[in-house]
Amino acid sequence: MFPLLCVMTGIFVLLRGSVSRLLGIEWLDIDIVPIVVIYLLGKDKELRAGGLAFCMGILTDILAPCQLGLFALTYSAITVGLNRCRRFLDFNKTKTLALLVGTYLLVKWAFLSIVLRLFPAGQLVPSIPFISVFVSALITGFLALPLFYILDLAGDEKPSGIRIAIAGDHHGRTFGV
């Protein structure tokens, strides 16, 4: 399953700019990397999540007109930070994971905007208005819910956040809810 996630995320990173230009949504930053990284963190695969974040960051750096290592540092730092805050966050609920995906994007752009101000090459990367970053985080967070479900089904695991309870009536009959 992990090699498939790596290939899927790599293809997304390679095609992201072309597809967004084709659809006319360059101002949106719909990013699957945080979705897959948060999914892996939710499945207690921290090392794989960190490795994937770093590799997809390097791939993004190669394709973007910015300092080499900037996105790798950003993705890796946020992933390590989220992993270190594990005891305070509930990675067992799908809605929490979707919220973390949106937060991941907001932190990514906050981190990038701070770091880009420090380097003179930051002039090459266009500034993005906060409203588009917020809309991107919102859309990506909502997109995370069905993708988590699909990833769980592809991995032959019980879908995240789906709880099946057995309920009964007063006659002793039970049925699934």
Domain extent for 111: 2-176
What phi and psi values does residue 175 have, to the nearest 5 degrees?
-155, 155
pTM assigned to the model: 0.77
Residue with tokens 């990284």: 37
Separation CA 59–CA 33 (nearest Å): 11
Residue 129 neighbours by CB under 8 Å, 6+ apart? 27
**Total number of domains constituting the chain:** 1
Separation CA 15–CA 141 (nearest Å): 20
Angle, alpha carbons 6-9-12 (nearest 5°): 150
Residue with tokens 């979705």: 35
Flag residues of the chain having pLDDT under 50.
159, 162-169, 173-177
- Dump pLDDT digits (tens) for 69-81: 888 989 999 999 9
- The pLDDT value recorded for residue 111 is 85
Separation CA 153–CA 158 (nearest Å): 7
Separation CA 47–CA 52 (nearest Å): 9
- The pLDDT value recorded for residue 164 is 36
Helix, strand, or coil (residue 157): coil
